[in-house]
Each structure stands twice: as C-alpha cells, then as structure tokens.
Amino acid sequence: MDSWSKMMEWKQLADKYMNQSFFPNFEDQNKAAGPHINLYESEHELLCVASLPGLKNMDDVEVYVYQNAVKLIGNTSFHIKGMSIRQNEIYQGRFEREISLPYSVREDPIDAYYRKGLLCIRLYRLLTDERKKKKVEIKNEDE
C-alpha cells in the first residue's frame, strides 16, 4: 500500500471518528472555486477558457469584462436519471469567479463561444481603459 492510500485510509477513520470531514476547509475551498480556468496569452490577445460541462442554456452563465478582469457568474448542474452521486469531482452549483488579466482589454471586439463543455472568451489588448463593464453574449456552437 502506498503512502497516499495509507493517508486516505487514515482520513476515512478520522472522518468516521469525528462524524464529519477531517479536512472541511480544504474540501470546501476546492468546491467553492467554481469552474477551472486556463488563460492563454499572445502579444495582443488573451483566450480565457472555462470548464463548464453540461451547460445547456447560455443564459445560465453571465460573462462580464472590465479593465483587466473577467467575471463569470452562473449555475451548472447535471443529473443522471435513476442514479445518485457516489463521487463528486466535477463542479456543480452556483459560482462566481473573477479572473485577473495581465493587462487591460478592449470592450470591442470580445468573442465568447461554448463548445464541447468549454466556454472560450477571446479578448484583445487595450491601449487605454476608461470604460465600464460590458456583458458578453455567449454563442452555443454545439447546436
């Protein structure tokens, strides 16, 4: 048995003894983070990619872009009919996530699209940043 398996066995015993999770803050912090994000950068362009599996309605997610940040607000959920969850690692539920950008971005153009469980937001570098938040429309490319 490797050391990770031993630690998980010990954690299960501690959970049972305490009648609650032994690492509640660690687990809650991981779940509260919401969707996982990758941020890609080129000289004048950023691509923000959020993992949002099972999103059926684009209105379930709002994207706001302002100065040097992107804010995602939404709700994701999916259920398998006739089954209950045994292990839950794919984030589900309400989320609010703000991503800091390495530089300010333009208000136009901003392209957002959803494909194969990923929300992609393409942004372009701004030379000046005297503007307000802009809500971004998401196109569903799975349909």
CB 109 within 8 A of CB 140: no
- pTM of the predicted protein model: 0.66
90 or 99, greater pLDDT: 99
Q: What is the pLDDT of residues 8-53, one digit of tens each?
A: 777 777 777 766 665 654 444 444 467 899 999 998 899 999 999 8
Residues 42 and 17 in one domain: no
Q: According to the model, what pLDDT value does residue 71 have?
A: 94
Q: For a pLDDT cut of 70, what percent of the chain falls above it?
A: 81
Question: Which residues, other chains included, contact 139 with Cβ-Cβ below 8 Å and sequence gap of 6+?
Answer: 58, 112, 113, 114
Report the sign of the C-alpha dihedral through residues 109, 114, 115, 120, in that order: positive
For the stretch 101-113, what's the b/e string if a residue is b when 16 or more beta carbons lie within 10 angstroms of its beta carbon? beebbbbeebebb
Number of domains in the chain: 2
pLDDT band for 72, please (50, 70, 90 cuts): very high
Confidence check: pLDDT of 122 > 70: yes
Residues 52 and 28 in one domain: no
Copy the structure tokens of residue 132.
């307000």
Q: How far is CA 87 from CA 34, 70, 83, 91, 99, in A?
A: 17, 30, 12, 11, 28
Only one residue has tokens 């333009």, namely 106
Least confident of 33-37, 64-68, 126-130: 126-130
Domain containing 112: what range?
A: 36-140
Residue 89: which CATH number?
A: 2.60.40.790
Confidence check: pLDDT of 130 > 50: yes
Mean pLDDT for the chain overall: 82
Residues 102 and 133 in one domain: yes
pLDDT band for 123, please (50, 70, 90 cuts): very high
> Residue 7 CB: number of other CB atoms within 10 A?
10
Q: According to the model, what pLDDT value does residue 23 have?
A: 61
Residues 72 and 46 in one domain: yes
